[in-house]
C-alpha cells in the first residue's frame, strides 16, 4: 500500500512539469523544468535500422544527419541507411517514472517494408532545445536500454555501448550550456542482444531512456526552459481495429487502438466515443499527456469491415472522425518447440549427442506433466542418438509419443548443406526416417530445415516423393541482409523442375520464440512483438490465419520451457492471437485443411544457400568428400552387380550406408566450434572428428570398390593371360585414361593389347606407372586388356604433336605466349575456331585472387617467377605445364590425350604458400571463352539453371555450387566445362567483352578470427576438363562430360581368361536419362534414374541382360508403388519429367 502511494506521488510530481507549458503564435512550445529535473518532453522519431558487422555487432554510423539536425514536430526525415525509412518527428512526454518509452510509441508504428530480422540494430532519436538564461556548467544524468549516444550543440558529449537495463542516474555527464538555445540529441539503440542475458541479470525487454538536468550539487536546474517547435497546433487522433481479442463477460471483444497527439499544455482528461452497429461505446481517459500517446479499448468483435463514427472530447473541444473498422483475423500461433542440431558448433560432436539426448529426456517429462505440450525432433540424427545412448524402454517411450502425435519427427538426417551434397546423399538422408516408419509405424507430413539460408532445387522433388507436404525453413539470413525475406512470400508452394511441390514456410530463424518476446517473462513485450511481426507478415499478403513459430532456445540446447509457460499465461489473458503448443505435423495438417492452402502462390526455382557457396573453407575435406560422393555410386553399382551375378554374395549395404552416414555427418549443419566456444584443444578435437567423417567415407568407399571389383573379376581369373579388367559404371560407352601402377620403377615393362580387337594399344611408361587409353568400354560393363612382356620398342601412330610453345592432338591445339607466359590460344581443330577470349581482363587459367572486404574483385596474380615446360608422354598425352614460384597456385597443367575430344586442366595449390591474413583472400582460376552473346547453364543439385532465370527472387550473388558441369553457349556453339574437385564457381561478366567468365574458387585464405581451422600443409590438386562443339546447350552431352570426369573407370590387374573379352550389362537409348545408381534392397533391385534435361520430358528404353523374367514398376521414396512398367523380354520403357529422378523396383 505504501509503495502504491509513493508511486502515485512520484507520478504527480513528475507531471507538474507540464504546468507552465506555453505555446506562442509561432508554434513554439516552451516548458518549465520538472521539479525532479527530468526533461519533460521531446521530439522523437524512429525506428531506423542500422547495419551489423562481425558476429551480429552494431555498426554505429550516422543515419539522419545527426548531429546536424534541428527538427520540427510534423517534419519528415529520411535515413541514409539501406532501408531508407522516411519517418516523422512527433512529441512525446515522459511517463510517470520519467522515462521516454520508445516501445510505447515508435515501436508500434511498424514499417512493413523492413523485413523481420533475427539479428538487428535499430535506433530511436529524441531531440529537445534547452533554453538557458546564462552560460553555465550542469550535470546531465542518463539511464538507457541499451546503447546510447548524446550530442549537445553538434558535439558528442557521451556514449555507452554496453547492454544494460535503464536506471535513473546511470550515467553522469558534465556539460556546458551556452546562453540561449542548446540542442540536445539522445540516440538510443535497441538490438537483438537486448534479448540476451546481462552479467548481473536478465536485460529487460524495454527501449528508451531517462534524462535529468541537475546542478553540480545534485539539485534540479530551475533557470532553464525546454523548447519544442511544431507545425501542429491542434489535438488530433487516429483509431484502428486490431487483431487482439479478449473474452469479457463471456463475449468476444476486439481491441481498438487510439493514438492521440495532444496539444494541451497540461495533463487533461478526455473521453473517446465510438459508434459501431448502431451502438455507442464510451471510454474515459483520466490523464492525457502532451504529445503522442496510445490508448486501447475493447468493443464487441467486428464481424464485417465498415465505417464508424468516433469522437474525442478534450477540454470541452469535440473532435469527430469517421474511421474504417476492419474485420481482423483470429490468429492461432503454433509454437513449434525444438532443439536445433548444429553438431560440433557449441561442443565437440560426442557432447552434442548427449546434449540432445538430455533434452529429449526433459521432453518426456514435459509431456507427462503437461498434456498439451508438443515437441518437434528437428533431425533423425537426434532420434538415432537417443536410440543409441538410452535404454530400449526410454526409446520406446519416445516412439510412442511420436505415434500419438505429441512429438513430430522431421525426416531429414542432419540439415545438410544441400549445395555440398550429392543426389544420393540427399536421398540417403531420408533412409533412417523411412526405417523408423517401417519398424514403428510412425509418420511424417512436415519437415524442418533450420539455420541455412536456402536449399537446392532438388528438395521439393525429394520431399514430395517421401510424402512430405510442408517444409519449415528456419533460414538464417543475417549475412544476406534479409533479402529473401524481403522478396519471397512468407509461405508459398515451392515447385521443383519436375513439377513436384512442397509448401515452404519462411521462418525468420530457428529461435523465433525469443524474438516474439516469449523469453521476456513480460506479456506487454509479447503483445508488442506480436503486433510488429504479424503486421509485417500481413503486409506480405499472408492468407492463413495460423502462424508458425520455429523455436529452439539455442543450438544444441535445452527446452525453451519459459516460452511454453509464457504462451500459456498469454492465453489466460487473450482469446486471440492464441498460442498453441504445436509441432511440424500438427501445423502441416492444419494448413492442408485450411482454405488458404489452395490460395498459396507457386514459386519455381533454386535458392541454394549462399553459405554453401560464399567464403567456403575445408577445401581438403571437401575434395575428399566429393571423391567419395562420386565413387560411392560406382561402388554400390558394382556391389549390386556382384550380387545379381552370384546370388550367394551378400550386398555390402552396411558399409555403403556407413559411408553415406559419414558423408552426411560432414555435410550436415555444423563446421566446427564457433569462435570462443572452446579451447584450442577443443577446436582441434572437433575438427579431428570432421576429418574422421571424410576419412571414414573415403576408406569405406575404397573398401566396397576393392571387394566388388574382386568379386566381379574372380570368375574371370585364369593363367591364360596377364591383363587388366576395366569396368565402366556409367550407362553409356566411353573412353578414358587408365593409370596402371606397378610395385617398382624397375618392374617389367608390358605392351597393352585390346582383348576385343587383339590390337596393341598405345601406352606410356613412367617410373612405376603405365598409362593407356581404354576405348569403347561398354555401358555398365567391362572390357579386358591383355598385358604382354615388352620385347621391343614399337612406334604406334598417333596425332599428338608439340613444338617450342604448343601442343596438339587431332581435336585441339594449345599455344603458349612465350612473352607473357600464359596460354594465349586454344584452337578447336574441328571448326578452326579460337576458343579463348584474349580480350578478357582475366587471362585464361591464370591464377587470380579476390579480396571482397577491400572491394577488389578477381585480378590476375603477379610478381611470381613463371616458367613453362612441354612434357611429351606420347603416344598417350602431351602436357603444357606452367609453374609459378612461391605462389599459392603454383602449377597449372594443360593436357591433351590421344584421340580424346577434351582439354584437361589441372591446378596445384601449395597450402604452405598461404600467409597469415587479416582479410579473406579467395584464390581462383578463370576460364574465359570466346563465345559472343553467350549464356551459362550450371548443373546444381536439382537440374541446370541460368542465374538470372532459374533462381527464386532475392538471390543476387553470382556463385554456384556445381555438381558436375556447366555449359557456356549461344544459339550456334557451346563449350562444356567440368570440374572434379573445385565445387564453387563464380560466373562473372567481363566489362570489356561482355562475355561470361567462369571462375573456379580453388582455395580461400581466412583470417585467424574466422576460426576456420584450415590445414595449411601440403598440396592439393584440382582437375578440370572442357570440350567444344556445334549447336546450343545440350543437357545430355553436358552431363556426360561431367560424369566422366568425376567417375573414373574402375580396373583390376590380374591374370584373366581372354573370353569373354567384354560385356555390357545395361544400356539406355536416350543419353538424357542417366543411371544414377543400382541398389540391392530387401524388396528387389532398385534402379535409380535421373533426367539430365531440366526443361523437357524424356523417354528411354532400358535394356539389360539382367532383366529376365522380372516385374518392374516405379516407386516413391517410401516404397509405395507409383506405376507398373511393361517389360518385354529384357527391356522396358520409362518417361521422366524434367530433372526428375525415378526409382524403379525390379523383382
- pLDDT, tens digit, for every residue of 1073-1085? 999 999 999 999 9
Give the pLDDT band of residue 196 (cuts 50, 70, 90). Answer: low
The three grid cell numbers given for residue 489, joined into one nine-digit string = 512470400
pLDDT of residue 26: 54
In 3-state terms, what secondary structure has residue 928?
strand
Is residue 492 within 8 A of residue 527, CB to CB? The reply is no
- Sequence-ordered list of residues with C-beta below 8 angstroms from that of 893, at least 6 positions apart, any chain: 879, 880, 881, 882, 904, 905, 906, 907, 908
pLDDT of residue 480: 72
Residue whose C-alpha cell reads 519528415 in the numeric block: 76
pLDDT of residue 201: 59
What does the DSSP 8-state code read for residue 898? T
In angstroms, rounded to a whole number, what is the distance separating the alpha carbons of residues 1052 and 1044? Answer: 19
CA–CA distance from 54 to each of 218, 344, 917, 1010 (Å)?
A: 41, 21, 16, 10
Alpha-helical segments (H) within 829-919: none
The three grid cell numbers given for residue 634, joined into one nine-digit string = 560406382
- Averaged pLDDT for residues 679-692: 93
User: Among candidates 482, 531, 539, 480, which has minimal Cα distance to 506?
Assistant: 482
In angstroms, rounded to a whole number, what is the distance separating the alpha carbons of residues 274 and 321? Answer: 10
pLDDT of residue 1009: 79
Give the pLDDT band of residue 198 (cuts 50, 70, 90). Answer: very low
Is residue 285 within 8 A of residue 272, CB to CB? The reply is yes
In angstroms, rounded to a whole number, what is the distance separating the alpha carbons of residues 78 and 972? Answer: 51
Alpha-helical segments (H) within 918-963: none
Residue whose C-alpha cell reads 581466412 in the numeric block: 1006
The three grid cell numbers given for residue 127, joined into one nine-digit string = 531531440
The three grid cell numbers given for residue 197, joined into one nine-digit string = 542475458
Q: Is the pLDDT assigned to residue 55 strictly greater than 80?
A: no
Percent pLDDT > 70 in the chain is 97
In angstroms, rounded to a whole number, what is the distance separating the alpha carbons of residues 690 and 395? Answer: 27
Task: Count Cβ neighbours within 10 Å for each residue of 918-951 and write b for 16 or more, e otherwise.
Answer: eebbbbbbbbbbbbeebbbbbbbbbbbbebeebb
Strands, sheet with 317-325, edge to edge from the N-terminal-most edge strand: 279-288, 268-276, 306-314, 317-325
In 3-state terms, what secondary structure has residue 645?
helix
Q: Is the pLDDT assigned to residue 83 strictly greater than 80?
A: no
pLDDT of residue 54: 66
One of 3.30.1490, 1.10.3470, 2.60.120, 2.60.40 is the CATH number of 2-229, namely 2.60.120
In 3-state terms, what secondary structure has residue 775?
strand
In angstroms, rounded to a whole number, what is the distance separating the alpha carbons of residues 969 and 996? Answer: 10
Residue 383, phi then psi, degrees to nearest 5: -65, -40
In 3-state terms, what secondary structure has residue 1004?
strand
Give the pLDDT band of residue 793 (cuts 50, 70, 90). Answer: confident
Give the pLDDT band of residue 195 (cuts 50, 70, 90). Answer: low
The three grid cell numbers given for residue 748, joined into one nine-digit string = 617389367
Residue whose C-alpha cell reads 566381379 in the numeric block: 712
Give the pLDDT band of residue 5 (cuts 50, 70, 90). Answer: very low
What CATH architecture is 236-325?
A: Sandwich (2.60)
> Between 872 and 85, whose confidence is greater?
872
The CB density around residue 180, as the number of other CB atoms within 10 Å, is 12
pLDDT of residue 675: 77
Fold of 801-1046: Beta-galactosidase; Chain A, domain 5 (2.70.98)
- pLDDT digits 0-9 by tens, 157-192: 999 998 889 999 999 999 999 999 999 999 999 988
Lowest-pLDDT range, 8-22, 428-442, 775-789?
A: 8-22
In 3-state terms, what secondary structure has residue 1030?
strand
User: Among candidates 626, 683, 515, which has minimal Cα distance to 1046?
Assistant: 626
The CB-side HSE value for 167 (13 A sphere, CA atoms) comes to 8
> Between 440 and 415, whose confidence is greater?
440
Fold of 1065-1146: Immunoglobulin-like (2.60.40)
Domain ranges of the chain: 2-229, 236-325, 332-596, 617-717, 801-1046, 1065-1146
- Averaged pLDDT for residues 112-139: 93
pLDDT of residue 749: 96
Percent pLDDT > 90 in the chain is 83
In angstroms, rounded to a whole number, what is the distance separating the alpha carbons of residues 777 and 734? Answer: 5
Beta bridge mates, 1079: 1086
At the top level of CATH, the class of 617-717 is mainly alpha
What's the count of helices (H) and strands (E) in the chain, helices before strands? 16, 74
CA dihedral sign, ordered 1033, 1038, 1039, 1042: negative
Beta bridge mates, 449: 473
Residue whose C-alpha cell reads 554456384 in the numeric block: 960
3-state percent breakdown (helix, strand, coil) of the chain, nearest 5: 20, 40, 35
pLDDT of residue 189: 93
> Between 820 and 379, whose confidence is greater?
379
In angstroms, rounded to a whole number, what is the distance separating the alpha carbons of residues 842 and 1088? Answer: 41
For residue 118, the Cα-to-chain-centroid distance in whole angstroms is: 14
Fold of 332-596: 7-stranded beta/alpha barrel (3.20.110)
- Averaged pLDDT for residues 352-369: 98
- Averaged pLDDT for residues 643-656: 97
Is residue 813 within 8 A of residue 821, CB to CB? The reply is no
Is residue 738 within 8 A of residue 1080, CB to CB? The reply is no
Residue 134 burial by Cβ neighbours in a 10 Å radius (0-12, 13-18, 19+):
exposed
- pLDDT digits 0-9 by tens, 1114-1147: 999 999 999 999 999 899 999 999 999 999 999 9
Is residue 859 within 8 A of residue 848, CB to CB? The reply is yes
Give the pLDDT band of residue 136 (cuts 50, 70, 90). Answer: very high
In angstroms, rounded to a whole number, what is the distance separating the alpha carbons of residues 1010 and 1003? Answer: 15
Longest dimension (CA), the chain: 120
- pLDDT digits 0-9 by tens, 984-1008: 999 999 989 999 999 999 999 998 8
- Sequence-ordered list of residues with C-beta below 8 angstroms from that of 888, at least 6 positions apart, any chain: 847, 849, 861, 909, 910, 913, 914, 923, 1003, 1005
- Averaged pLDDT for residues 94-107: 95
Same fold, 236-325 and 1065-1146: yes
Q: How many residues does the chain have?
A: 1147
Beta bridge mates, 927: 998
pLDDT of residue 9: 37
Q: Is the pLDDT assigned to residue 1012 strictly greater than 90?
A: no
The average confidence (pLDDT) of the chain is 93
**Threshold 0.85, pTM exceeds:** yes
Amino acid at each position: 500500500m505504501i509503495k502504491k502511494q509513493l508511486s502515485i506521488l512520484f507520478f504527480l510530481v513528475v507531471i507538474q512539469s507540464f504546468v507552465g507549458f506555453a505555446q506562442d503564435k509561432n508554434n513554439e512550445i516552451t516548458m518549465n523544468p520538472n521539479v525532479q529535473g527530468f526533461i519533460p518532453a521531446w521530439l522523437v522519431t524512429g525506428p531506423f535500422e542500422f547495419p551489423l558487422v562481425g558476429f551480429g555487432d552494431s555498426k554505429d554510423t550516422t543515419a539522419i544527419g545527426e548531429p546536424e539536425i534541428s527538427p520540427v514536430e510534423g517534419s519528415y526525415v529520411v535515413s541514409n541507411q539501406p532501408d531508407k525509412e522516411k519517418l516523422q518527428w512527433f512529441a512525446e512526454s515522459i511517463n510517470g517514472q520519467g522515462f521516454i518509452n520508445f516501445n510505447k510509441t515508435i515501436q508500434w508504428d511498424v514499417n512493413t517494408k523492413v523485413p523481420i530480422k533475427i539479428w538487428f540494430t535499430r535506433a530511436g532519436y529524441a531531440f529537445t532545445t534547452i533554453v538557458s538564461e546564462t552560460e553555465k556548467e550542469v550535470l546531465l544524468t542518463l539511464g538507457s536500454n541499451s546503447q546510447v549516444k548524446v550530442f549537445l550543440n553538434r558535439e558528442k558529449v557521451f556514449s555507452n555501448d554496453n547492454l544494460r537495463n535503464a536506471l535513473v542516474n546511470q550515467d553522469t555527464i558534465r556539460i556546458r550550456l551556452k546562453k540561449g538555445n542548446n540542442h540536445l540529441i539522445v540516440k538510443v539503440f535497441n538490438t537483438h542482444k537486448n534479448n540476451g542475458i546481462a552479467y548481473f541479470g536478465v536485460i529487460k525487454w524495454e527501449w528508451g531512456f531517462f534524462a535529468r538536468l541537475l546542478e553540480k550539487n545534485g539539485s534540479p536546474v530551475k533557470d532553464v526552459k525546454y523548447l519544442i517547435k511544431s507545425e501542429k497546433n491542434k489535438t488530433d487522433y487516429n483509431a484502428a481495429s486490431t487483431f487482439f481479442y479478449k473474452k469479457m463477460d463471456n463475449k468476444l471483444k476486439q481491441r481498438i487502438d487510439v493514438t492521440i497527439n495532444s496539444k494541451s499544455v497540461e495533463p487533461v482528461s478526455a473521453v473517446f466515443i465510438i459508434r459501431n452497429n448502431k451502438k455507442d461505446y464510451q471510454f474515459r481517459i483520466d490523464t492525457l499527456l502532451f504529445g503522442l500517446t496510445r490508448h486501447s479499448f475493447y468493443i464487441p468483435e467486428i464481424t464485417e469491415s465498415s465505417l464508424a463514427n468516433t469522437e474525442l472530447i478534450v477540454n470541452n473541444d469535440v473532435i469527430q472522425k469517421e474511421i474504417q473498422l476492419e474485420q481482423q483475423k483470429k490468429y492461432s500461433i503454433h509454437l513449434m518447440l525444438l532443439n536445433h542440431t548444429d553438431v560440433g558448433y557449441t561442443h565437440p560432436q560426442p557432447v552434442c549427442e548427449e546434449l540432445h539426448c538430455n533434452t529429449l529426456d526433459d521432453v518426456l517429462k514435459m509431456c507427462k506433466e503437461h498434456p498439451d505440450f508438443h515437441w518437434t525432433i528437428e533431425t533423425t540424427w537426434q532420434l538415432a542418438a537417443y536410440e543409441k545412448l538410452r535404454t530400449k524402454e526410454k526409446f520406446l517411450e519416445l516412439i510412442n509419443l511420436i505415434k500419438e502425435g505429441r512429438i513430430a519427427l522431421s525426416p531429414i538426417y542432419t540439415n545438410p548443406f544441400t549445395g555440398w551434397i550429392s543426389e544420393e546423399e540427399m536421398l540417403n538422408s531420408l533412409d533412417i526416417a523411412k526405417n523408423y516408419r517401417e519398424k514403428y509405424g510412425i509418420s511424417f507430413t512436415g519437415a524442418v530445415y533450420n539455420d541455412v539460408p536456402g536449399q537446392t532445387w532438388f528438395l521439393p522433388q525429394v520431399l514430395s516423393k517421401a510424402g512430405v507436404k510442408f517444409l519449415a525453413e528456419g533460414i538464417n539470413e543475417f549475412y544476406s541482409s534479409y533479402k529473401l525475406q524481403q522478396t519471397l512470400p512468407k509461405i508459398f508452394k515451392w515447385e521443383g523442375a519436375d513439377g513436384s511441390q512442397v509448401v515452404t514456410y519462411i521462418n525468420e530463424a530457428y529461435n523465433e520464440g525469443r524474438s516474439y518476446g516469449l523469453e521476456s517473462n513480460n506479456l506487454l513485450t509479447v503483445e508488442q512483438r506480436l503486433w510488429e511481426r504479424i503486421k509485417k507478415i500481413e503486409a506480405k499478403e499472408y492468407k492463413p490465419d495460423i502462424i508458425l513459430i520455429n523455436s529452439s532456445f539455442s543450438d544444441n540446447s535445452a527446452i525453451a520451457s519459459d516460452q511454453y509457460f509464457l504462451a500459456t499465461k498469454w492465453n489466460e489473458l487473450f482469446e486471440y492471437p492464441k498460442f498453441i503448443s504445436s509441432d511440424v505435423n500438427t501445423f502441416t495438417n492444419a494448413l492442408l485443411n485450411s482454405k488458404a492452402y489452395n490460395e498459396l502462390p507457386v514459386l519455381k526455382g533454386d535458392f541454394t544457400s549462399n553459405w554453401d557457396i560464399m567464403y567456403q573453407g575445408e577445401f581438403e575435406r571437401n575434395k575428399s568428400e566429393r571423391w567419395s560422393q562420386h565413387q560411392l555410386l560406382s561402388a554400390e553399382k558394382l556391389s549390386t552387380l556382384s550380387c545379381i551375378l552370384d546370388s550367394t554374395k551378400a550386398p555390402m549395404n552396411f558399409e555403403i550406408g556407413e559411408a553415406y552416414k559419414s558423408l552426411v555427418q560432414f555435410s550436415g549443419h555444423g563446421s566446427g566450434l564457433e569462435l570462443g566456444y572452446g579451447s584450442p584443444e577443443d577446436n582441434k578435437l572437433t575438427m579431428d572428428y570432421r576429418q574422421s567423417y571424410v576419412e571414414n567415407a573415403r576408406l569405406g568407399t575404397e573398401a566396397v570398390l576393392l571387394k566388388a571389383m574382386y568379386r566381379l573379376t574372380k570368375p574371370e581369373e585364369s593363367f591364360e593371360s596377364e591383363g587388366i579388367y576395366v569396368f565402366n559404371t556409367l550407362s553409356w560407352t566411353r573412353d578414358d585414361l587408365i593409370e596402371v601402377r606397378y610395385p617398382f620403377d624397375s618392374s617389367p615393362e608390358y605392351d597393352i593389347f585390346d582383348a576385343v580387337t587383339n590390337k596393341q594399344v598405345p601406352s606410356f611408361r613412367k617410373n612405376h606407372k603405365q598409362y593407356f587409353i581404354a576405348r569403347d568400354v561398354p555401358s555398365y560393363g567391362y572390357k579386358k586388356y591383355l598385358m604382354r612382356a615388352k620385347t621391343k620398342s614399337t612406334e604406334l601412330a598417333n596425332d599428338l604433336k608439340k613444338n617450342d610453345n604448343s601442343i596438339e592432338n587431332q581435336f585441339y591445339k594449345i599455344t603458349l605466349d612465350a612473352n607473357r607466359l600464359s596460354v594465349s590460344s586454344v584452337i578447336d581443330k574441328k571448326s578452326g575456331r579460337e576458343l579463348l577470349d584474349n580480350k578478357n581482363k582475366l587471362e585464361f587459367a591464370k591464377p587470380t585472387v579476390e579480396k571482397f572486404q577491400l572491394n577488389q574483385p578477381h585480378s590476375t596474380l603477379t610478381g611470381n617467377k613463371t616458367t613453362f615446360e612441354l612434357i611429351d608422354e606420347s603416344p598417350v598425352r602431351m602436357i603444357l605445364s606452367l609453374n609459378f614460384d612461391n605462389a599459392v597456385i603454383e602449377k597449372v597443367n594443360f593436357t591433351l590425350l590421344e584421340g580424346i575430344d577434351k582439354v584437361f586442366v589441372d591446378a596445384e595449390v601449395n597450402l604452405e604458400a598461404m600467409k597469415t591474413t587479416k582479410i579473406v583472400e579467395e584464390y581462383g582460376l578463370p576460364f574465359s571463352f570466346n563465345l559472343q552473346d553467350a549464356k551459362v547453364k550450371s548443373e546444381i543439385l536439382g537440374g541446370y539453371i541460368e542465374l538470372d532465370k532459374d533462381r527464386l527472387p532475392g538471390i543476387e550473388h553470382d556463385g554456384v555450387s556445381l555438381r558436375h558441369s556447366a555449359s557456356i553457349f549461344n544459339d550456334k556453339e557451346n563449350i562444356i566445362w567440368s570440374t572434379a574437385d573445385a565445387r564453387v564457381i563464380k560466373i562473372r561478366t567481363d566489362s570489356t567483352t561482355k562475355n561470361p567468365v567462369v571462375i573456379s574458387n580453388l582455395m580461400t585464405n581466412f583470417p585467424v578470427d574466422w576460426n576456420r581451422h584450415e590445414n595449411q600443409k601440403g598440396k592439393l590438386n584440382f582437375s578440370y576438363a572442357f570440350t567444344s562443339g556445334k549447336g546450343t546447350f545440350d543437357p545430355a552431352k553436358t552431363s556426360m562430360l561431367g560424369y566422366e570426369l568425376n567417375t573414373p573407370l574402375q580396373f583390376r590387374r590380374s591374370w584373366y581368361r581372354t573370353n569373354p573379352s567384354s560385356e555390357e550389362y545395361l544400356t539406355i537409348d536416350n543419353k538424357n536419362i542417366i543411371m544414377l545408381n543400382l541398389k540391392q534392397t530387401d524388396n528387389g533391385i532398385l534402379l535409380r534414374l535421373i533426367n539430365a534435361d531440366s526443361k523437357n520430358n524424356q523417354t528411354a528404353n532400358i535394356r539389360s541382360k539382367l532383366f529376365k523374367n522380372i516385374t518392374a514398376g516405379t516407386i516413391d521414396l517410401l516404397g509405395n508403388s507409383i506405376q507398373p512398367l511393361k517389360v518385354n523380354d529384357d527391356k522396358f520403357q520409362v518417361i521422366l519429367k524434367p530433372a526428375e529422378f525415378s526409382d524403379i523396383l525390379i523383382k
